[in-house]
A and B are shown apart, each in its own frame.
Chain A
Amino acid sequence: MSAIMDFLNNNGTELLIKTWEHLYISVIAAVLGIIVAVPLGVLLTRFEKAASPVMAVLGMIQTIPSFAILAFFIPIFGIGKVPAIIALFFYSVLPILRNTYTGVKDVNKSLLEAGRGMGMTGWERIRYVELPLSIPVIMAGIRVSTVYLIGWATLAAFIGAGGLGDFIFSGLNLYQTEFIIAGAIPVTILALIVDLILGKLEYKVTPKSMRDKKTA
């Protein structure tokens, strides 16, 4: 116990700074992912033929080891936070995109016909029908994606982006277990907290009448 206190006394401020860096690298990447993947997912439902090739390409990117991607971006974007965020962004896209596509595609076709027959424009159908009805599925994708990103962001330290990965890498290099633990535990806690917050957000943005059904 005293060892922990000692460690925190010596490294507490740094731990907070690294946690904050870690959080914002992940969150910015996730937000970028949402900004790109949600509209793209909706768009793919309009061009069914393009859907599977696009998904396949993104699936392939997903399978490239994250270390390799980070290394790959060094010659293009250099080192630091920007390349890390860009690399993480690539990882965030697929889960969100896939869930958006599936969620929007699974909206009951008769509702879309009713909407079209009533004189909704394409945009109004997305805004009033497709998005509200698929929001639980899209949110699930965002949650999964963000939690993964928080884990992967550890590797960003490798290209000098900072974050809790710094502790872990230092621990590995110096054979000091407490540094590894001091990096790993906050990452886990961070992931859990973010997941919890996103869960609450998911509940909030789900239309009222659909909340009961989900718990039922």
Chain B
Amino acid sequence: MLKFEHVSKKYKGGKIAVSNLNLEFKKGEFIVFIGPSGCGKTTTMKMINRLIEPTEGKIFINGEDIMEKDPVKLRREIGYVIQQIGLFPHMTIQENISLVLKLLKWPEEKRKKRAEELLSLVDMTPDYLERYPHELSGGQQQRIGVLRALAADQPLILMDEPFGALDPITRDALQDEFKNLQKKLDKTIVFVTHDMDEALKLADKIVILRDGQLVQCGTPEEILREPADEFVEEFIGKERLVQAKPNITTVEQIMNAHPVTITSDEQLSNAITVMKTNRVDSLLVIDKEGVLEGYIDVEAIDQNRKKAKSVADILNPDTFSVQKDALVRDTIRQILKKGLKYVPVVDEQKHLVGIVTRTSLVDIVYDSIWGDEELERAQ
């Protein structure tokens, strides 16, 4: 849908705002450009509707080179929302919402209908249509600002820190509202912000820029899990990284990769010896290929000592296990819900690869409470 090919912007006097940017996004993606001020995020966004023209490279929207289109026509096909809201004070809400439609020469009746329709999207009543922007609260004004960008059903919308000037509570509400709206209407959004929380909350793809260079581009999970470098880590903030850990870490990253195991054809006496040497009360049972078969514990051995001889006889095959790429967050929930002491971790072929115990949980909880303090102490 949207593609940047070697895009650069140099200003007169040699200042490089954006250098050699290559990006590609799919339809319906919520793309967030983020970075410190002066990183080129706004410049990059404004190049999409040619408010700023690239000095090098090409930008394509649905395969069309934007430089070959008439800029006015191009901009009417792209929604645009700015931080200062930019509602026209001398126009009613209806006139503001349907301004692009007026430019596109829609008849008055259709414009009015469309404005009402849009207003209902944000749960505002039609009597707002006749009011003026200064009679509305900041949050309501920016809702209208967003609706204005949706008026002509533009598939692509550019937003330049749209919620930056709002108070935190309104901002939060608008973010939720807008994210839902975006999913419902299946719009592609390019959103510029310097607020990492906002980016993590809204984005499908986050593009991190610094000094006009692309630093990292990925889903919020990818970026939290594997920050490309120290800059990204710092930018995300250590606190967020630590807090986000259970949400993005997989069990593979925290599991004990050397669980105490036994094969099912072993003698019970051997099993007890293994337990004693490793000081555990249960053993995971695997076959020769390492596929998890079940578990035995010391109670079962005790009860069946007389009758059973091999591990296979008392094996309990009813074992709950998780895939190694499962999220720690979900695993913790299972452990707590089922009251498990441990969970074996397996790969796609059910080979045992590790174990998550309650001790691992303690580590995570410890990290999220004390982790950042430890980091500070370490510095």
Contact = CB atoms under 8 A, between A and B. Distances in A.
Q: Interface size bucket, A side? A: 20 to 34
Interface stretch (B17-25, B83-91, B338-346): B83-91
Interface stretch (A16-24, A63-71, A208-216): A208-216
Contacts of A108: 84
Contact of B80 (A117, A124, A213): A117
Interface in A99-116: 108, 110-111, 113-116
Contacts of A31: none
B134 A116 contact: no
A129 interface: yes
B371 to A, nearest CB: 42
B75 A116 contact: yes
Q: Is the interface of A mostly helix, strand, loop or mixed?
A: helix
B103 to A, nearest CB: 6
A118 B90 contact: no
A210 B91 CA distance: 10
By CB atoms of chain B within 10 A, which of A108, A116, A207, A209 has the most? Answer: A209
A13 B88 CA distance: 52
Nearest to A207: B90
Contacts of A111: 86, 88
Contact of A114 (B86, B92, B103): B86
B72 A121 contact: yes
A17 to B, nearest CB: 43
A113 B86 contact: yes
A70 B94 CA distance: 52
A119 interface: yes
Contact of B51 (A113, A208, A209): A113
A116 B51 contact: yes
Given A114-B82, A119-B72, A119-B103, A129 B158 contact: no
Interface of A: 108, 110-111, 113-121, 124, 128-129, 132-133, 207-210, 213
16 contacts: A110-B83, A111-B88, A113-B82, A114-B86, A116-B75, A117-B158, A118-B76, A118-B80, A118-B103, A119-B73, A119-B77, A119-B100, A120-B103, A209-B89, A209-B90, A209-B134
Interface of B: 49, 51, 72-78, 80, 82-92, 99-100, 103, 132-134, 148, 158
Closest 7 CB pairs of A and B: A114-B86, A207-B90, A119-B75, A119-B76, A117-B80, A110-B84, A209-B132
